[in-house]
């Protein structure tokens, strides 16, 4: 527990209906009591925990605001300390005056994330849960929200703790066997350990792989639109965006730069890169665009390949198809309002990918595209509703290190190394896993993590 009592504005810094000032620490109730008065003139110190009180905030004899006060005594509060929340009128100036008054009477301004940091340091939540608080606040869609909430409820922490307990058990066994070889035999132990390590490798690998989906939830699916000039890429992008952003023209090769836009398709975020049409070109400026398009293509999660259905396929199309063969592709057969020359069947002969007929002009087929993307990324194998996704790069890195250490154990067993080799790498895996829940990390890193929080959280 900390000696000092902190106070901060917990709501946004714009004028709004209500603004909340949060006070936490051993003197939270006493300090608020100095500035809060009820009609009955009862002291807040006498009030029971988890009660609500109506009154006014005073700076000496000056009335500052009419408020409602929520009292939560330790340990049943967010920080596990005595906490008071003051609901004021939500004007930026009013809320600030209330905060200043509390500071004048003994509270210290809180640092960003200090409430959650106290919740962590007081043992109410571990580090991965604390980090999920930032993710929850910054989540922009259903998937991100659900996954952060699962992490906040401790699902990741439990999985990590179980693995650590299992690993520690084996380390202890090896150490005691080495200390007391007369009574504890290590005969055949390698095989037993190999199974346990394999299980843990599978588990860590599954978590690690989930970070791909985790990243897409959090940051969006990186999507590239490709196709020859004039097939309607910009028109499709504009339809998706619902606004005129890219320049649409009839002159081939005018979309020279790479445009990036983020769109939200029923909760799935797409980071769309509209590229200069990929085709052989001698124009230098256009050439730069083509090279960049190829670059973004390599890093894309999803490629939307647009074909003009009113024209036959040509060499340029075949070249594009070759480039994107290995990737997750949705083909849009555009200009379905015109007489069809290239059909789905014809396309399938060259590139066997999900194909959707659309018309950017009539705005038809767009909802099919939305559905296809949803199915491709967040349905089928991925039961995104109750699965945990790693969204934090710190966690991902620790899992990667854990995997490397466990694989070394596996190799030592295979190579018939001495048992003390096992325990060194097992210990390393144990420590790396511990970093995720905050058990093996230094104060500096803790401070850095919490400094990324918003004020008042």
Q: Which of 171, 184, 201, 361 binds ligand GDP (CB under 6 A)?
A: 361
Angle at 418 between CA 415 and CA 424, to 5 degrees: 100
341 touches ligand GDP by CB under 6 A: no
- Looking at 30-38, 282-290, 359-367, 396-404, which segment touches ligand GDP (CB under 6 A)? 359-367
Q: Which of 230, 391, 392, 402 binds ligand GDP (CB under 6 A)?
A: 230
Q: Which of 146, 335, 396, 428 binds ligand GDP (CB under 6 A)?
A: 335
State how far the alpha carbon of 188 is from the alpha carbons of 184, 193, 356, 407, 416, in Å: 12, 9, 58, 19, 11
Q: Which of 25, 229, 289, 438 binds ligand GDP (CB under 6 A)?
A: 229
> What is the smallest separation between the CB atom of 247 and ligand GDP, expressed in angstroms?
8
Residue nearest to ligand GDP (CB): 232
> What is the smallest separation between the CB atom of 358 and ligand GDP, expressed in angstroms?
7
307 touches ligand GDP by CB under 6 A: no
Label residue 426 exposed, middle or buried (CB < 10 Å: 0-12, 13-18, 19+).
Answer: buried
Within 260-289, the residues that bind ligand GDP by CB under 6 A are 277
* Of 109, 108, 125, residue with least CA distance to 117: 125
E-strand stretches of 108-156: 108-109
338 touches ligand GDP by CB under 6 A: yes
360 touches ligand GDP by CB under 6 A: yes
> What is the smallest separation between the CB atom of 119 and ligand GDP, expressed in angstroms?
51
> What is the smallest separation between the CB atom of 429 and ligand GDP, expressed in angstroms?
50
Q: Which of 174, 216, 231, 405 binds ligand GDP (CB under 6 A)?
A: 231
227 touches ligand GDP by CB under 6 A: yes
> What is the smallest separation between the CB atom of 131 and ligand GDP, expressed in angstroms?
41
Q: Quick one: CA dihedral 115, 121, 124, 128, positive or negative?
A: positive
Q: Which of 70, 248, 265, 288 binds ligand GDP (CB under 6 A)?
A: 248
CB nearer to ligand GDP: give 184 or 248: 248
CB nearer to ligand GDP: give 260 or 414: 260
> What is the smallest separation between the CB atom of 279 and ligand GDP, expressed in angstroms?
11
149 touches ligand GDP by CB under 6 A: no
Q: Which of 132, 139, 157, 359 binds ligand GDP (CB under 6 A)?
A: 359
Contact 119, 113 (CB under 8 A): no
Residues 6+ apart with CB under 8 A from 337: 359, 361, 362, 364
Angle at 215 between CA 210 and CA 379, to 5 degrees: 60
- Looking at 13-21, 90-98, 229-237, 445-453, which segment touches ligand GDP (CB under 6 A)? 229-237
Instruction: Say how far apart CA 400 and CA 392 lie, in whole Å.
Output: 13
CB nearer to ligand GDP: give 32 or 230: 230
314 touches ligand GDP by CB under 6 A: no
Q: Which of 46, 250, 381, 415 binds ligand GDP (CB under 6 A)?
A: 250
Instruction: Say how far apart CA 270 and CA 153 lie, in whole Å.
Output: 28
337 touches ligand GDP by CB under 6 A: yes
Distance of CA 398 to the CA centre of its chain: 16
Q: Which of 233, 395, 410, 428 binds ligand GDP (CB under 6 A)?
A: 233
CB nearer to ligand GDP: give 132 or 234: 234
> What is the smallest separation between the CB atom of 235 and ligand GDP, expressed in angstroms?
3
Instruction: Say how far apart CA 157 and CA 165 lie, in whole Å.
Output: 12
Q: Quick one: CA dihedral 215, 393, 395, 116, positive or negative?
A: negative
Quote the crossing angle between the two packed helices 189-219 and 366-378, to the nearest 10°.
160
* Of 132, 141, 131, residue with least CA distance to 378: 141
Instruction: Say how far apart CA 152 and CA 159 lie, in whole Å.
Output: 13
Q: Which residues of 163-172 are buried (b: 16+ CB within 10 A; e: fewer)?
A: bbebbeebbe
Contact 436, 456 (CB under 8 A): no
Within 393-452, the residues that bind ligand GDP by CB under 6 A are none
- Interacting residues toward ligand GDP by CB under 6 A: 227, 229-235, 248-250, 255, 277, 334-335, 337-338, 359-361
């Amino acid at each position: 527990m900390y000696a000092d009592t902190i106070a901060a504005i917990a709501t946004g810094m714009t004028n709004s209906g209500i603004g909340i000032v949060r006070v936490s620490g051993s003197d939270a109730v006493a300090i608020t009591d100095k500035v809060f008065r009820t009609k009955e003139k009862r002291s807040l110190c006498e009030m029971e925990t988890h009660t609500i009180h109506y009154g006014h905030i005073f700076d000496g004899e000056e009335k500052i605001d009419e408020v409602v006060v929520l009292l939560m005594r330790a340990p049943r509060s967010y920080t596990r300390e005595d906490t008071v929340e003051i609901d004021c009128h939500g004007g930026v100036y009013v809320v600030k005056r209330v905060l200043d008054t509390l500071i004048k009477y003994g509270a210290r301004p809180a640092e960003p994330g200090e409430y959650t940091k106290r919740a962590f340091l007081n043992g109410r939540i571990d580090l991965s849960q604390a980090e999920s608080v930032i993710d929850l606040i910054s989540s922009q869609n259903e998937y991100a929200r659900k996954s952060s909430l699962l992490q906040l409820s401790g699902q990741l922490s439990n999985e990590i703790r179980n693995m650590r307990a299992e690993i520690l058990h084996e380390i202890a066994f090896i150490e005691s066997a080495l200390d007391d070889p007369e009574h504890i035999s290590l005969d055949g132990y390698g095989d037993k350990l190999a199974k346990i390590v394999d299980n843990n490798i599978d588990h860590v690998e599954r978590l690690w792989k989930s970070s791909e989906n985790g990243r897409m939830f959090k940051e969006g699916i990186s999507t590239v639109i490709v196709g020859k000039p004039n097939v309607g890429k910009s028109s499709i992008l504009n339809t998706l965006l619902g606004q005129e952003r890219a320049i649409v023209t009839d002159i081939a090769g005018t979309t020279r730069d790479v445009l990036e836009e983020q769109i939200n398709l029923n909760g799935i975020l797409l980071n769309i890169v509209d590229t200069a049409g990929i085709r052989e070109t001698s124009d230098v400026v256009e050439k730069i665009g083509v090279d960049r398009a190829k670059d973004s293509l390599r890093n894309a999660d999803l490629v939307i390949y647009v074909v003009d259905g009113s024209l036959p396929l040509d060499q340029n199309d075949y070249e594009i198809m070759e480039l994107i063969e290995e990737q997750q592709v949705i083909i849009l057969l555009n200009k379905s309002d015109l007489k069809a020359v290239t059909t789905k069947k014809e396309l399938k002969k060259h590139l066997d990918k999900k194909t959707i007929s659309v018309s950017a002009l009539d705005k038809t087929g767009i909802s099919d595209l939305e559905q296809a993307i949803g199915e491709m990324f967040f349905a089928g194998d991925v039961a995104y509703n109750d699965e945990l996704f790693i969204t934090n790069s710190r966690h991902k890195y620790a899992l990667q290190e854990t995997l490397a250490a466990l694989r070394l154990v596996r190799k030592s067993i295979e190579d018939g190394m001495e048992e003390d080799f096992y325990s060194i790498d097992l210990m390393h895996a144990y420590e790396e896993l511990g970093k995720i829940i905050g058990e093996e990390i230094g104060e500096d890193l803790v401070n850095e993590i919490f400094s990324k929080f918003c004020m008042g959280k």
